[in-house]
Amino acid sequence: MIKHEPSKRPEKWHQLSTRTKYRWMIPFVAFEWGWEWVAFLLSNWKFLEVLEYLGSFSVLAAVIFYFSESGDRVKQRHYQAWQVINTAQGKGGSGGRIEALMQLNEDKVPLVGVDVSSAFLQALKLENANLLRADFSAADLRGCDLEAADFTQANLQSTNLRGCNLEGASFRNADLREADLTGSDLAGARLDEADLASADLRSADLRNIQWQKLRGVRMANIADTKNAPAGFVEWALKNVAVQLRNSTE
C-alpha cells in the first residue's frame, strides 16, 4: 500500500534568514529553502500521487502477464530442445543434445522414440527418463547416469555404456547386442527378452538383475562380473557366453 504524506510547509524567509548566524551562509540557506518549497508544492499535487498508484498497477500487470505466459515459454523451450535433437539426428558429436535431453527430462517430457544414434553423449544424466523405443545405437554414453530409465524396446546395439549408472533401468525387449557395459552398474535392472549377444559385461555389477527371461547371451563376455545372481553365470555359459578377462584372450 502506498502511504502518501504531504511535506511540511516551509517557514517564512524572513524567519529563516534572521536565524542564519553567518551572512555567507545565506545563499546556501536560500537554495535549500527553494527546494523545500518545490517539494512542498509537489507533495500536494494529486496528479503525482495518481502516477505512483499507476506505477504500482503496471508492476502488478507485468507480473500477471509474466505468469500467464509461462506455459507458452515452456512450450517454446521444449520446441527448441526437440529442434536441436532432430537437427543433429544421425550425426556424431553432441550438438547441444546433452543439454536438450536433460532439459526435456527435467520437465518430465517423455523421450519416446528419440533418435540419438552415433551421438557423443558422455556424462548425460537422464534419471527416470521414458526412453521407450529410443535409438541409442553406436552412441557414446560413457559415465552416464541413467538410473531407473525405461529402455523398453530401445535400440542399444553397439552402444558404449562403460561405467554407467543403470541401476533399476528397464531393458525389456531391448537390443543390447555388442553393447559395451564394462564396469556399469546394472543392479536391479530388468532384462526380460533383452538380447545381450556379444555384449561386454566385464566387471559389471549384476546384483538382483531380472535375467530369467533373457533372449540371448551368445558370445557375451561375463568375465569378472560382480554380484551375479545365483545360477546366472552357469546359465549364461551354457548359452554360449564367454569369460575373457581382456580383449586379447
Domains of the chain, start order: 13-68 (no CATH), 91-249 (2.160.20)
Phi, psi of 84 (to 5 degrees): -60, -45
Render pLDDT for 63-89 as a digit per residue (tens, 0 to 9). Answer: 565 455 555 678 889 999 999 999 998
Closest-CA residue to 194 (of 150, 163, 226, 224): 150
Beta-carbon count within 10 A of 136 CB? 30
Is residue 153's pLDDT more than 90?
yes
Closest-CA residue to 166 (of 180, 143, 147, 142): 147
Record the cell numbers describing residue 186, joined without a space. Answer: 546394472
Sequence-ordered alpha helix ranges (H) in the chain: 13-18, 26-43, 46-68, 70-87, 97-106, 232-238
Query: Between 66 and 181, where is the model more confident?
Result: 181
Q: Report the alpha-carbon distance of residue 92 to residue 75 in Å, rounded.
A: 27
Please give the model's pTM, rounded to 2 decimal places.
0.72
pLDDT of residue 127: 97
Is residue 45's pLDDT more than 80?
no
Contact 78, 104 (CB under 8 A): yes
Average pLDDT, the chain: 86
Which residue is it, cell 535409438?
135
Render pLDDT for 189-208 as a digit per residue (tens, 0 to 9). Answer: 999 999 999 999 999 999 99
